[in-house]
A and B are shown apart, each in its own frame.
With several copies, the nearest count.
Chain A
Amino acid sequence: MNTTINLAGVELKNPVMTASGTFGSGAEYSEFVDLNRLGAVVTKGVANVPWPGNPTPRIAETHSGMMNAIGLQNPGIDLFCERDIPFLKQYDTKIIVNVCGKTTEEYCEVVERLADEDVDLLEINISCPNVKAGGIAFGQNPQAVEAITREVKKRAKQPIIMKLSPNVTDITEMARAAEAGGADVLSLINTLTGMKIDVHKRAFALANKTGGVSGPAIKPIAVRMVYQVANAVKVPIIGMGGIACAEDAIEFILAGATAVSIGTANFFNPMTTVEVADGIEQYMKQYGFETIDSMVGLVK
């Protein structure tokens, strides 16, 4: 049995990775899980300069999920390269840097800055509001998706993962646009935009009014989108959205994902990632699967 997978030429020891923004750069969770056991660590989104993020409250609980409006607080690419990459290099796991920006130029600056760094893949978060397009996210318009993919791809030394927004009518349109622009891998889904109102305070639960819904609540929507995208493009897919156990991860793999990311579940079970890795192995043994690839997209 072999759990390795291949993402655009990068071999991961298993398909289990972390979802950006839920795992920092791994330091905090390294107290709970052996990072060497993970296929990859995907870092919190990093921008060209430090971002302070949104005012608090930044999170709220929802039924079987949560809502966040962290606002992409990050220390900026310089401190990130100096501190977070060396930390992760101590471990035998792949490093995927999640990149955010408000303009194409900002994304490109980060991507160029990472060219000489020892990281394995770049994940481009295009759910960020595009300031030049009046704040609608890059990921909500196929032309914008293709354009930013192309610009980033031109400059990237590492293979690029385009991370799709689920807040769209037709996710396959965005997936095809990213593929056309040169994406090596697609990851999905980012959070669904939500809102919560405290009826007793008659105020928004989040200072930002809206936030991104994540966790088990959104899993059926995420599985559907992964299935649709897997049937629309040729590049490999990293599936995520509500994965909390091995069965959940396998659901995404059977729907068409080559790898999976675990986000919100870390917050209620810091050992989730490793438990999922173990559970996938067990499942493969139980049903006699020799490789991950033989399970990818098996349910049609």
Chain B
Amino acid sequence: MAKKWKEQVTVISQECITEGIYSMWIQTENIALEAVPGQFVSMYTGDGSKLLPRPISICEIDKEKKSLRLVYRVTGEKTGTKQFSQAAAGDCIEVLGPLGNGFPLEEGKGKKAFLIGGGIGVPPILELAKQLDGEKQIIVGYRDTQFLYNEFCQNGTVYVATEDGSAGTRGNVMDAIRANALDAEIIYACGPTPMLRAIKQYAEEKGIVCYISMEERMACGIGACLACVCQSAEKDAHSNVHNKRVCKDGPVFLSTEVEL
């Protein structure tokens, strides 16, 4: 079993990278050493009235400095993410991680791959792009403003889709794939459910292996409470029903494993 830790991490730096989206580097003791792309951490607010973890994907891993980059959206005024966005360098935050399975890197080795991120599903694609050893076509979709674009450019060929057409293809990531007549042997994707649904269908039509990273509300984050299930195509060995735990069995699943 991969090790996990509950740590009091220190904020190294915090930056608002575009409206409402923040990028934070945290100094961990152990978490970064164990982390792989596609895993996430549970962040705790420190406010006694907000007890549940905020699951945030790992955007970048610096093993040497034992630090992690988290890129997250502030979802509202009195939220936990708002609180995180107010943390300054030197402040401490409780973090549990690394959690979940992560993207399988071996499967993609040497292959022509799509790395697809949509909206706030974009961040985990960055560390994946850095670590994946293959022909990387990175397709990122945004509502309007882009973020992390420059970082992606250093790690593959980048295609952008924006809903408002302000950059790249107007539309979603599927529109960008079609507009650029792209193809792939393997797909990795993270983003909103409608996007994942379209990608799953595309992959299955084309017969391509496809890994998708899912989201669900979480309580324990480690597989004990059964809050975060998604429906699985087959009976799951652990649950003995058609449910898989996003926090433990995922968040990354083979598209054929799950129902969307």
Contacts and interface: CB of A to CB of B under 8 A. Distances in A.
Classify A-B as touching or not with yes or no (CB < 8 A).
Answer: yes
Contact of B220 (A75, A215, A266): A266
Chain A CB count within 10 A is highest, among B225, B227, B228, for: B225
A58 B227 contact: yes
A70 B226 contact: yes
Contact of A53 (B52, B78, B223, B241): B241
B109 interface: no
A66 B224 contact: no
A73 B244 CA distance: 11
Interface string B1-29: 10110100000000000000000000000
B63 interface: no
A267 B219 contact: yes
A287 interface: no
A266 B53 CA distance: 11
Contacts, number: 112
Contact of B51 (A29, A32, A61): A61
A219 B53 CA distance: 20
A50 B241 contact: yes
A256 B151 CA distance: 50
B65 interface: no
B133 to A, nearest CB: 30
B255 to A, nearest CB: 19
B83 to A, nearest CB: 13
B229 A75 contact: no
B154 interface: no
A60 interface: yes
A28 B223 contact: yes
B242 to A, nearest CB: 6
**Among the interface residues A28, A50, A60, A73, which one has the most CB atoms of the partner chain B within 10 A?**
A28
Interface stretch (B42-50, B85-93, B136-144, B197-205): B42-50
Contact of A268 (B51, B222, B223, B248): B51
Nearest to B4: A31
Interface in A26-63: 27-29, 31-32, 44, 50-53, 56-61, 63
B6 A32 contact: yes
Interface stretch (A17-25, A98-106, A168-176): A17-25
**What 8 pairs between A and B have smallest CB-CB spacing?**
A75-B240, A24-B224, A28-B224, A52-B241, A59-B227, A50-B240, A61-B52, A28-B222
B243 A70 contact: no
A297 interface: no
Contact of B240 (A76, A216, A271): A76
A235 B49 CA distance: 34
A53 B222 contact: no
Contacts of A27: 224
A41 to B, nearest CB: 11
User: Which DSSP category, helix, strand, loop or mixed, fits chain A's interface?
Assistant: loop
Contacts of A267: 51-53, 219-221, 225
Contacts of A270: 6, 96, 220, 222
B212 to A, nearest CB: 16
A59 B219 contact: yes
Given A21-B225, A23-B224, A73-B241, 19 more contacts: A24-B226, A27-B224, A28-B222, A44-B226, A52-B242, A56-B216, A56-B217, A57-B217, A60-B217, A63-B49, A64-B48, A70-B226, A73-B229, A73-B239, A75-B238, A75-B240, A267-B221, A268-B51, A271-B6
A266 B3 CA distance: 18
B223 A63 contact: no
A298 interface: no
A79 interface: yes
Nearest to A217: B49
B122 interface: no
A56 B228 contact: yes
A29 B240 contact: no
A66 B241 contact: no
Interface in A265-297: 266-271
A66 B219 contact: yes
B80 to A, nearest CB: 9
B125 interface: no
A58 B3 CA distance: 27
Interface in B181-240: 216-230, 238-240
Interface centre among B44, B52, B216 (most CB of A within 10 A): B52
